Amino acid sequence: MSELSDRAGLPGLEIRQLRVSFDGFTAVDGVDLDVRPGDLRFLIGPNGAGKTTLVDAVTGLVKADGSVRFGGAELLGRSVHRIARSGIGRTFQTATVFEELTVLQNLDIAAGAGRSVLTMLRRRTGVPESVARALETVGLTELADSPAGTLAHGQKQWLEIGMLLVQDVRLLLLDEPVAGMSHDERQSTGELLERISEERTVVVIEHDMDFMRSFARSVSVLHAGRVLSEGTVADVQADPKVQEVYLGHAPQESTTAEPAAGVAVQEA
């Protein structure tokens, strides 16, 4: 089977008229978003644009109106657990691993999340194949027996991504995965996301514009709860609306297709 037809068989994310309000304040204001299977989509936008709230709505953490479909199935109205069982997983800005357990134990617990207690008790000795594969993918095989608490910051994020992989998550929603990482860790994380997105759909919330430029296959820019711009990195960088939001004013004599200086700014 070709790579393309493989991808065609993967479920995509379809968001329609998504709206989230908190006590009368509309944080997500009628968002339409399509993330095709196998995409590596970056969600960018100034602080308070609604990026995290959008992901909270997709994962069932906040109540929302509209429609969120993944692989054709409607997610809105489902519980957090049912949504997770639909193959959707997320990471948060701070890694949530069990620090006192080893890397392997963390992955094994995550792999067992969908198993019954009896199956867990009957578990064979040795490392399950899905866990071995995840260790390999996230580059932690050598550290399998190290306590997660001893890992470097970047490695904890990779472990967390590995925990989603062993659950066979089909849509990964990652909240600022490279925040606080070194240059080398960012590079490794970008390459990891490229590999993962060959078989899964990946959405990354990010403020790091260099990272976005290096690894995004597509970008959506959110502003004040709405999609301001969408397309390739070059498309959104050349969009005067995006430059205005990041710079606070419209670009002067903006006839160039050069990357917008404003999008090089880390934060609005």
Residue (50 or 177) nearer to ligand ATP, CB: 50
CA angle 72, 51, 240 (to 5 degrees): 105
Q: Write each residue from 6 to 35 as x if it is in contact with ligand ATP (CB under 6 A), else as -, in one continuous string.
A: ----------------x--x-x--------
Question: Does 92 help bind ligand ATP (rule: CB under 6 A)?
Answer: no
Decide whether 53 or 243 has the Cβ nearer to ligand ATP.
Answer: 53
Q: Does 233 bind ligand ATP (CB under 6 A)?
A: no
How many chain residues interact with ligand ATP (CB under 6 A)? 11
Q: What is the DSSP string of 26-78?
A: EEEEEEEEEE-TT-EEEEE-STTSSHHHHHHHHTTSS--EEEEEETTEE-TTS
| Per-position x/- string for 109-128, each x denoting binding to ligand ATP as judged by CB under 6 A, each - no binding | --------------------
State how beta strands 171-175 and 201-205 pair.
parallel
Burial of 255 (0-12, 13-18, 19+ CB in 10 A): exposed
Contact residue for ligand ATP among 49, 166, 204, 238 (CB under 6 A)? 49
Q: Give the amino acid at 127.
A: V
Residue 52 contacts ligand ATP per CB under 6 A? yes
Q: Does 51 bind ligand ATP (CB under 6 A)?
A: yes
To ligand ATP, the closest distance from the beta carbon of 31 in angstroms equals: 11
Q: Give start and end residues of each alpha helix (H) in the chain.
A: 3-8, 51-58, 80-85, 103-112, 117-121, 129-138, 153-166, 183-196, 209-215, 233-237, 240-247
Q: Is 53 in the site for ligand ATP (CB under 6 A)?
A: yes
> Given the rule CB under 6 A, which residues bind ligand ATP?
22, 25, 27, 45, 47-53
